Structure 1
Amino acid sequence: MQTPTRNPSPAGSRAVRLDSFGGPETLAVREVPAPQAGPGQIRVRVTAAGLNPMDWIMTADADTAARFGLTLPAGFGTDYAGVVDQVGDGVAGFAPGDRVFGGALSRAVADFVVVDPAGGTAAEEAHHTPDGVDDRTAATLTIAGRTASAALAAITAGPGDTVLIGGAGGGVGVFAVQLARLSGARVIGTGSAASADHLRGLGAEPVVHGEGLADRVRALAPGGVTAAVDLYGVEAVHAARELGVPDSRICTIAAQVGGVAAANGADAPAGALEDIARLVAAGRLRVPVAATFPIGQIRDAAGLQAGRHVRGKVVIDL
């Protein structure tokens, strides 16, 4: 039997807490007891936490929170990166000092998180951070990387495809565009006129969203579009249908459309996150970090993220 490894730790630590569900104004930094790793668990000293739209969506109201199993007082944020500092009994493959990243559902914006490294879902997981991937970048990978991988798997994007990606400049779009391009597909990405250079930098051919989208896409790709992913709503779904894309090759992540698959991070192929981290380490996939904030500015950070106009990722430094 493995002997638990424990390093001295402070009795207290900082964590973002909500005493009521709602918007960014409900977030507060609190002093809380430092969690301890139990059997099968590791404790991570968090150095960076990445924000995602799901963080504020699932804490916006009590009914939504209940669907995710959240009760008050609740934490905030899911993506984290840091260093293992406690290892519980029965854990293999992790040791104090290991750099890790992963998911801790609605509790990542904190000095410490305790996770089950065998959890295997974005709600509960840990992966070794490869050399060449800094902690800020590692803290952006889990939710967005899993979601992008799941969406592209749903439409089986690959060589010869022309893929329309709606909302291509956002946090998931950063990954979806680049992963689709790495698969050999051509990518047309929707966004505002001001986001065109950002989209080109990711490898997408930009097209302005809004009324007339299908006509603009048709002008860019007279040979046709073969698949589509809508990362924002349903506009790209409707455009893809108008362009003749079958429902079997259309996917959403933020809306439900009859006949169209809806993907989330739980649907990501096995090993997707490790593959993404290796691509980042090799310089083949880059993650633009749009803004960083100290934990004390969590309301500002969450407000920026909730605005849904960020080009890249928002990260909290701890």
Structure 2
Amino acid sequence: MKAISYRRYGGPEVLECGELPMPKLGPDSVLVKVRAAAVNPVDWKCREGHLDPVLDAVFPVVPGWDLSGVVVRPGVSVPEFSEGEEVIGYVREDFLSRGTFAEYVAAPVRTLARKPRNLSFEEAAGLPLAGLTAYQVITQGLGGVTHGDTVLVHAAAGGVGSIAVQLARHFGARVIGTGSEPSHEYLRDLGAEPVAYGEGLAERVRALAPDGVSAVFDCVGGEALAQSAPLLAEGGRIASIADHAVTGLGGRYVFVRPNTADLYRLSELAEEEVVSVHVARVLPLERTAEAHRLSQEGHTRGKIVVTVADAS
């Protein structure tokens, strides 16, 4: 099968497009014909070796954890899916090797859910990792948000941040979203009140929320996180997906995990048009290195998605 892989850590230039053996189908897995795979910042961090302290790399590594596709065959102990069903998946295992930038993936059943019927394969591929991250931070990391809450979302126009805005609004919260000036109209369309990054950020947020914010959802870390704690109202909560320093501020660091129930709920919310996925760029599998470079530049609004041509 055709796949993207890398045989050593490094920059985008280590990514190769070539033939790899078809994956073996274990009893608890589902063979999926991949239609699209989304790029996430964790992909290039894995490729550069930043996750080597916690995830063994079995080279050659096929990158990618997000997919949308069609079930070819379920494993012998998997009654949940049938041939021909359309699925999405956050296909993360505890090692790096069998990723989603390939024509076929043997995905553990615990990583899959039904694809939202109203989303294209490209849109659906952008939902699992970003959606699960946003959902798990909102519902668990921040202990839930509700009517009367004011939530500050950093990097609100990004893949995770944009879904976090939509979820927080769905749960009844007011949302203030940080982003660059060109993204402000997009943030307004999502239902957030935009504020610009950079010097004076705290003052701009206080102007909108003089009594402080109920919760902070940090997707940036560093200075943005440091400025966030003083903005919390009494009893406020803070969570970060980008900076472990949040624990020193009394908050929670959240690393997304595969969860079938959460993924099914996201699929339902997409079909209810509560959550949408903005696809910024679509590239063919052969241009995955370019997709990685675009992601690493960090200026993308929404998701970068790679499509996989129909395999014979």
Taking structure 2 as the reference length, what is the TM-score of the superposition? 0.90
Give the drift of 1:54.
0.7
In the other structure, the counterpart of 1:300 is 290
Q: Pairwise mapping of residues 1-318 of structure 1 onto structure 2 (< 5 A)?
A: 13-61=1-49, 64-105=51-92, 107-117=99-109, 119=110, 125-153=111-139, 154-155=141-142, 156-245=144-233, 249-257=237-245, 258=248, 259-266=250-257, 271-318=261-308
Residues 220 and 205 of structure 1: is their aligned pair in 2 closer, same or farther, counting only changes over 3 Å?
same
Superposed CA RMSD: 1.8
SS in 2 for 1:207: strand
Q: Do the aligned residues in 2 keep the contact of 1:228 with 1:249 (CA within 8 Å)?
A: yes
SS in 1 for 2:270: helix
Amino acid at match of 1:201: D
Q: Do the aligned residues in 1 keep the contact of 2:149 with 2:215 (CA within 8 Å)?
A: yes
Residues 135 and 189 of structure 1: is their aligned pair in 2 closer, same or farther, counting only changes over 3 Å?
same
SS in 1 for 2:58: coil
Structure 1's unaligned 5+ residue stretches are 1-12, 120-124
Q: Do the aligned residues in 1 keep the contact of 2:214 with 2:235 (CA within 8 Å)?
A: no
Q: Do the aligned residues in 1 keep the contact of 2:30 with 2:108 (CA within 8 Å)?
A: yes
Amino acid at match of 1:150: Q
Give the drift of 1:100.
0.7
Structure 2's unaligned 5+ residue stretches are none
Q: Do the aligned residues in 2 keep the contact of 1:166 with 1:235 (CA within 8 Å)?
A: no
Amino acid at match of 2:78: V
Q: Do the aligned residues in 1 keep the contact of 2:112 with 2:263 (CA within 8 Å)?
A: no
Instruction: Give me the whole-angstrom Cα distance separating, in 2, the residues matched to 1:306 and 1:205.
Output: 26
**Deviating 4+ runs (over 4 angstroms):** none
Number of residue equivalences: 298
SS in 2 for 1:74: strand
Name which of structure 1's ranges 127-136 and 79-88 shifts more when overlaid on structure 2. Answer: 127-136
Amino acid at match of 1:276: L
Instruction: Give me the whole-angstrom Cα distance separating, in 1, the residues matched to 2:258 and 2:108.
Output: 19
Give the drift of 1:296.
0.7
Instruction: Give me the whole-angstrom Cα distance separating, in 2, the residues matched to 1:295 and 1:276.
Output: 26
Q: Do the aligned residues in 1 keep the contact of 2:34 with 2:69 (CA within 8 Å)?
A: yes
Taking structure 1 as the reference length, what is the TM-score of the superposition? 0.89
Q: Do the aligned residues in 2 keep the contact of 1:247 with 1:260 (CA within 8 Å)?
A: no
